[in-house]
């Protein structure tokens, strides 16, 4: 990677006695698409507002392209922003909305008209310049908001939950469009979201936040397959968290089953959480042909189209409950039915251990 384009150091923000950001440091590289992800109140919006200058931090610095912008007002920072609520001027046409920032910069009429035309083509609304926002769908309005943010050719694009007000089908379509556009333009982009699927599908890297702090920074694959904490493991995707005991080096006991797995920094006899993704639970059928296998009962099946959710318990699991995700084709091959007894296999490399504790180990 090249040198940091956006360099955030020791950023804190307090509102009275409440700490919204607590000593946050991040490096974002030129052309990256980074998502700030976390539950409501985790600090992601406060961080975005500090970067934009809409809400100046209490302590810490923000540098953009080698320039210290920590104390600058928004108008003196190099960014475009798109909000959840579109924030379009309803009394202006689509073309005038897109041209707004260019007009404020006193560009020539000819240059503005050409730029607006190019941007309308870029967002696939070439014939909508004369329409008003109220004549467009929600997804189309958000594309106009995106074009308005890009009109001034900013060095940084900030997306403040831009898809959360849209219905599911439009949201999926628009997230693909935004990512494609970002790649084509090569613009450094930060998006905040509470939707893990959006973050995983769009981001080059994800910043997972909790209580004003960063829990983990990594690629979607790293965040999903190598969660750094129990909070990240639970927050990103579906996860089984099963109480287990370390019975010897490299082996845990889960109910009556003993499973091999990687063990780091735990002592013998330690009570742990064993974290297993549902798709990593392999249904081997009614014979035990694998290591790391155990027997359990299918207690419920939920048909989801391309796959089934299985609720498993009993057998060697005892009172523990395990969810598995099985493709519809595999479910048909096994002839799965409630109360079936079967063997399950969890590869050792797909079991991660976390210390037991409240609330997140």
User: Which segment of 101-105, 126-130, 237-241, 311-315 scores lowest on mean pLDDT?
Assistant: 101-105
Domain range summary for the chain, segments of one domain joined by +: 4-233, 240-355
CB count within 10 Å of CB 289 equals 9
CATH classification code of 240-355: 2.40.50.100
Q: What is the pLDDT of residue 107?
A: 83
Q: Is the pLDDT of residue 360 over 80?
A: no
Angle at 107 between CA 106 and CA 111, to 5 degrees: 160
Give CA separation, 101 vs 48, 75, 105, 139, 188, in Å.
21, 11, 6, 21, 19
Cα 147 vs. chain centroid, distance in angstroms? Answer: 23
- Going by the DSSP 8-state scheme, the letter that residue 236 receives in this structure is S
Are the C-beta atoms of 278 and 325 separated by less than 8 Å?
Answer: yes
CA distance 178 to 219: 18
pLDDT in tens, 180-219: 999 999 999 999 999 999 999 999 999 999 999 999 999 9
pLDDT in tens, 108-138: 899 999 999 999 999 999 999 999 999 999 9
pLDDT interval class at 290 (50, 70, 90): confident
Give CA separation, 66 vs 29, 61, 75, in Å.
12, 12, 18
Mean pLDDT of the chain: 93
Please give the structure tokens belonging to residue 135: 């004549």
Q: Is 188 helix (H, G, I), strand (E, B) or coil?
A: strand
CATH classification code of 4-233: 3.40.50.300
User: What average pLDDT score do residues 210-239 get?
Assistant: 95
Are the C-beta atoms of 34 and 28 separated by less than 8 Å?
Answer: yes
With a pLDDT cut of 90, the percent of the chain lying above it is 85
Instruction: Count the alpha carbons within 13 Å of 23 in the hemisphere toward its beta carbon.
Output: 1
Instruction: Write out the DSSP string of 69-126.
Output: -TT--GGGS-EEEEETT----TTS-HHHHHHHHHHHTT--HHHHHHHHHHHHHHTT-T
Pairing type for strands 188-193 and 156-160 reads parallel
Closest CA to 153 of 78, 67, 249: 78
pLDDT in tens, 33-67: 999 999 999 999 999 999 999 999 999 999 999 99
Q: Is the pLDDT of residue 237 over 60?
A: yes
């Amino acid at each position: 990677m090249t040198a940091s384009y956006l360099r955030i150091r020791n950023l804190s923000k307090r509102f009275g006695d409440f700490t919204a950001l607590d000593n946050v440091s991040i490096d974002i590289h030129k052309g990256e698409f980074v998502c700030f992800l976390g539950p409501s109140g985790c600090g992601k919006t406060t961080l975005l507002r500090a970067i934009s200058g809409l809400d100046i931090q209490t302590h810490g610095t923000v540098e953009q392209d080698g320039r210290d912008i920590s104390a600058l007002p928004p108008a003196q920072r190099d960014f475009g922003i798109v909000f959840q609520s579109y924030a379009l001027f309803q009394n202006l046409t689509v073309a005038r909305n897109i041209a707004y920032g260019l007009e404020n910069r006193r560009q020539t009429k000819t240059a503005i008209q050409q730029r607006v035309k190019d941007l309308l083509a870029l967002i696939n609304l070439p014939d909508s310049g004369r329409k008003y926002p109220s004549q467009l769908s929600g997804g189309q309005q958000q594309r106009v908001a995106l074009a308005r943010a890009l009109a001034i050719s900013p060095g940084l694009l900030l997306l403040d939950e831009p898809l959360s007000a849209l219905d599911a089908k439009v949201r999926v379509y628009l997230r693909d469009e935004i990512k494609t556009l970002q790649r084509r333009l090569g613009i450094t982009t930060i998006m905040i979201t509470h939707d893990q699927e959006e973050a995983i599908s769009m981001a080059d890297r994800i910043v997972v936040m909790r209580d004003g702090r960063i829990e983990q920074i990594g690629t979607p694959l790293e965040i999903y397959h190598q969660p750094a904490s129990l909070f990240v493991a639970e927050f990103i995707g579906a996860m089984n968290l099963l109480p287990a005991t370390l019975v010897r080096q490299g082996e845990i006991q889960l109910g009556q089953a003993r499973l091999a797995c990687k063990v780091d920094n735990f002592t013998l006899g330690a009570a742990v959480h064993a974290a297993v993704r549902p798709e990593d639970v392999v249904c081997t059928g009614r014979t035990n042909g694998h290591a790391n296998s155990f027997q359990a009962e299918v207690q419920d099946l939920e048909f989801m189209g391309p796959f089934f959710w299985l609720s498993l318990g009993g057998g060697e699991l005892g009172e523990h409950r395990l969810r598995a995700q099985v493709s519809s084709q595999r479910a048909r091959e096994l002839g799965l039915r409630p109360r079936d007894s079967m063997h399950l296999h969890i590869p050792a490399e797909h079991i991660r251990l976390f210390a037991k504790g409240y609330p997140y180990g």
